């Protein structure tokens, strides 16, 4: 009998498969089609201090082996997430969840993280530092080691739960950013967020997406994600949640060999709402085929 359990910052997950933020709503939307309690955890939709309508449409563009999205963090704001969305999810999902927090200033990050830290059903806080820093000309917090350090330190000062910093791949040296987060007290790293991409409509000769550019995700970015997880595993001594193009049980195992303790599934959910369920069901079969008894033993096994 194979063992799919993994331990993530003190939390024992039945398996390492987690739907990625922004691709699974708040989770309860999927409860009508299968028992979502089979999931290792759920990374809930990205949350900001104030409600956000998001970016203008069109927001989605298809690509070969992937897609580009520019949703713009549409969400009802931290107060409604706490008062309405998380309680609704708790009716269907009985395990700790991952709260994904975004912000446009260090103060906003700290405010939202301090509030979500008090929610009993939240097991881990995932801080998305791919947002534009409004006090620094719109440059993403995640593209500067100094900014990443500042956000991490501010969030850690007001929280008690494990904090995982979600990193942008749109940088020269992912190792430098990850190390800065660790030095500021991060409990873990999530990576990668989407790459920056675009498509142009040949008839109109204009960008397909209203915002011109957006986040490129899907199977096409898996090798890039794998490489970055591998590099960060060699750089930090804290756990990693790996993501980026994961769409099969074999991808999960490959990501864990690179250094991930758990794995998030993103774009695959938008193509097939049963993607996570299928991966979880495939996992024991693939483990037996590869003669793997304990998934936990695989972490970093390729180093």
> Catalytic amino acids?
131
Q: Of the candidates 105, 68, 77, which has an alpha carbon nearest to the alpha carbon of residue 211?
A: 68
Rounded Cα–Cα distance for residues 183 and 195 (Å): 25
The length of the chain in residues reads 303
Q: Of the candidates 171, 193, 166, which has an alpha carbon nearest to the alpha carbon of residue 181?
A: 166
- CA geometry: angle 122, 228, 226, nearest 5 deg: 85
User: Which residues are bridge partners to 195 per DSSP?
Assistant: 216
Give the count of beta carbons closer than 10 Å to the beta carbon of residue 82: 18
Q: Is the peptide bond before 218 cis (omega within 30 degrees of 0)?
A: no
User: Which residues are bridge partners to 62 per DSSP?
Assistant: 67
> Helices in 184-274 by DSSP H: which ranges?
222-233, 249-258, 267-271
């Amino acid at each position: 009998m194979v063992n799919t359990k993994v331990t993530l910052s003190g939390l024992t997950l039945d398996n390492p498969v987690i739907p990625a933020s922004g691709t699974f709503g708040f989770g309860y939307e999927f409860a009508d089609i299968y028992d979502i309690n089979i999931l290792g955890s759920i990374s809930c939709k990205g949350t900001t201090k104030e409600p956000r309508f998001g970016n203008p449409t069109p927001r989605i563009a298809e690509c070969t082996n992937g897609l580009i999205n520019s949703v713009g963090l549409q969400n009802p704001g931290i107060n409604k997430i706490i008062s309405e969305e998380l309680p609704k999810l708790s009716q269907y999902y009985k395990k700790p969840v991952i709260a994904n927090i975004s912000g446009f200033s260090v103060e906003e990050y700290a405010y939202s993280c301090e509030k979500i830290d008090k929610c009993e059903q939240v097991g881990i806080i995932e801080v998305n530092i791919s947002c534009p820093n409004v006090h620094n000309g719109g440059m993403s917090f995640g593209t500067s080691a100094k900014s990443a350090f500042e956000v991490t330190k501010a969030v850690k000062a007001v929280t008690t739960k494990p904090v995982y910093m979600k990193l942008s791949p749109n940088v020269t040296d992912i190792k430098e950013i990850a190390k800065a987060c660790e030095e500021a007290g991060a409990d873990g790293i999530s990576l990668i967020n989407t790459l920056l991409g675009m498509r142009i409509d040949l008839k109109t000769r204009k960008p397909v997406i209203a915002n011109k550019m957006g986040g490129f995700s899907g199977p096409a970015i898996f090798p890039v994600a794998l490489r970055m997880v591998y590099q960060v595993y060699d750089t930090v001594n804290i756990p990693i949640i790996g993501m980026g193009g994961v769409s099969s049980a074999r991808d999960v195992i490959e990501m864990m060999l690179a250094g991930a303790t758990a794995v998030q599934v993103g774009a695959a959910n938008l193509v097939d709402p049963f993607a996570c369920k299928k991966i979880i069901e495939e996992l024991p079969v693939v483990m037996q085929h590869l003669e793997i008894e304990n998934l936990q033993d695989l972490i970093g096994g390729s180093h």
